[in-house]
Homo-oligomer: A and B are copies of this chain.
Amino acid sequence: MSELDDVVLARLVASDQRYTPARRALVAALRCAGGPVSIQEIQGLTDDLPQSSIYRNLSVLEAAGVVTRIVGNYEFGRFELAEDLIGHHHHLLCEECGAMLDVTVPPAIERQLDEALEKLAKRSGFTLHHHRLDLVGRCAQCK
């Protein structure tokens, strides 16, 4: 049981939830993925959990703040571990095959961006919680 598991367990307990085998399998699958994964990919990574269980347990994990659900371009939903577990990052999104990969922007850029966005948001009376940045293009395989 790794450090990550400890944190996950703590958050589930805080939400009055158990850390069941199915949930462990989901967290393990998300951890080894290099980016947000779809339900189908999760089914491949785990031993064929039924879809409904995947959806239901991902909802529980999301409510506990362990998992984040995002949506790619068109397609369906994708899931990843929460940013405070794996660090702030962004995504490379392949227009050809729909793959999504994690990518980290240099802190200097990130900082400048945050400052600029904060000003912009304020100008619109907007309370900024966070930003989302995707790099859209074509991945190495689809070139």
Contact = CB atoms under 8 A, between A and B. Distances in A.
Interface stretch (A17-25, A43-51, A113-121): A113-121
Interface in A94-143: 94-95, 101, 103, 105-106, 109, 112-113, 116-117, 120-121, 124-140, 143
A129 B121 contact: no
A71 B112 CA distance: 26
Q: Please give the count of copies of this chain that the complex contains.
A: 2
A92 B126 contact: yes
Given A103-B120, A116-B105, A136 B129 contact: yes
B126 A137 contact: yes
A113 B134 CA distance: 12
Contact of A74 (B69, B94, B120): B69
A137 B128 contact: yes
A99 to B, nearest CB: 10
Interface string A26-64: 000000000000000000000000000000000000000
Nearest to A143: B127
Interface in A58-94: 69, 71, 73-74, 92, 94
11 contacts: A71-B71, A109-B112, A109-B113, A120-B135, A125-B139, A126-B135, A127-B138, A127-B143, A128-B137, A131-B133, A133-B134
